[in-house]
Amino acid sequence: MGVLTDRGKATAYGIFSLSVLLTLWICATSLFQWIEPRVLPSPAQVIRQFAWIITEPFSGLRLPGHILFSLERWGWGVLTAGLVGIPVGVFFAWNPWFKTFLNPVFELIHFIPPFAYIPLAVLWFGASTATQAMVVFVAAFPAIVINSQLGVAQVEKIYVDAARVFGASPFRTLCRVVLPAAAPSIYTGLRIAISNGWMALVGAELVVGKVGLGFMIAQGQENASVATIFVGVITIGCLGVLIDTLVQRSERYVLPWRRVAG
């Protein structure tokens, strides 16, 4: 096997093991029916269910509709977390007293898992977009604050001093020197927040709501339709990967000055 590089071999092994898995799945379900379709549907059934949910409304909406609702809630949560979290993180690093005062509240959000906020969110907002968005916010907020704070704290003091020597006002120093220097770290925080938020959204939608991908899985459980659950789980996983890849790729355009080997 001297022909293949390690990378090639890894791919070959990967394709092999995945096809073994797929064959086992097909054997266990459609071919020999070791497992009842009620417990584990065959790949064909899952694909059929996929096609069905895309073309026929499921609980009032087709698959793209559910996806859009999930994305909307997630978007609101992450957006608010960014709008609040970045300034809070920056000021945490800028002013220690501000941090000391706000820290107890921040630690509450940080240390209580986002899902523990679901019952409270339901109580406050009922079954509205705000409920899920609040859970996404709680999941996304700490990563943004921590990384923004870290980014600002790591800005070399000499940059700030230089700006001051040239007569820049504190506000101007913040906007033109500190923020650009801290941006890569802030971006990392956003990236973590975005994927944390996506995870939390699924949990929130499982508990409350009448649309969305999480709801779709919950409904699959209710109807004892494992195929529907599979469709939901696969969609959630693929969208998660897609979002993360997009964010990762976009970094080059958003932060062109960051020349870290990657």
Partner 1 sequence: MGQSRTLQVAAGLGAILAWIIIWAWLTRPGGPVPTLYFPAPDDVWAKFVRMWQRPYIGSTLPNHILASLYIVLTGWGLAALVGIPLGIAMAWWKKLKWIVFPTFQLIRPVPPLAWIPLTILWLGIGDSARISVVFIAALVPWLMNSMLAVYSVDRLLLDAAKTLGANDRQILARVVCRTALPTLVAAARMALGNAWSTLVAAEILAATAGLGYVAVNASQLLDTDVLLVAMFMIGILGICMTGLIGLTQNWLAPWSVLGARRD
Structure tokens at 95: 């002013």
State which of residues 57, 237, 246, 254 lies at the interface with partner 1 (CB under 8 A). 237
Q: Give the alpha-carbon dihedral of 194, 202, 141, 250, to 10 degrees.
A: 10
Instruction: Provide the mask over 195-224, with x wherever binding to partner 1 is found by CB under 8 A and - wherever it is not.
Output: ---xx--xx--xx------x--xx-xx--x
Instruction: Provide the mask over 97-116, with x wherever binding to partner 1 is found by CB under 8 A and - wherever it is not.
Output: x--xxxxxx--x--xxxxxx
Residue 236: other Cβ atoms inside 10 A? 21
Long-range contacts of 126-130, Cβ-Cβ distance < 8 Å, separation of 24 or more: 127/208, 127/209, 127/210, 129/72, 129/73, 129/76, 130/76
58 forms bridges with which residues in the sheet? Answer: 61
Residue type, 141: F
User: What's the closest the beta carbon of residue 128 comes to partner 1, in angstroms?
Assistant: 15
Q: Which stretch, 17-25, 62-70, 164-172, 176-184, contacts partner 1 (CB under 8 A)?
A: 17-25
Element (H, E) at 254: helix 226-254
State which of residues 23, 87, 124, 210 lies at the interface with partner 1 (CB under 8 A). 124
Specify the DSSP class assigned to residue 117: G
Q: Which stretch, 48-56, 158-166, 228-236, 249-257, contacts partner 1 (CB under 8 A)?
A: 228-236
User: What's the closest the beta carbon of residue 159 comes to partner 1, in angstroms?
Assistant: 23
Cβ atoms of 172 and 141 closer than 8 Å: no
Q: Is 93 in the site for partner 1 (CB under 8 A)?
A: no
Q: Which residues bind partner 1 (CB under 8 A)?
A: 6, 9-10, 12-18, 21, 39, 97, 100-105, 108, 111-120, 122-124, 198-199, 202-203, 206-207, 214, 217-218, 220-221, 224, 226, 229, 232-233, 236-238, 240-241, 244
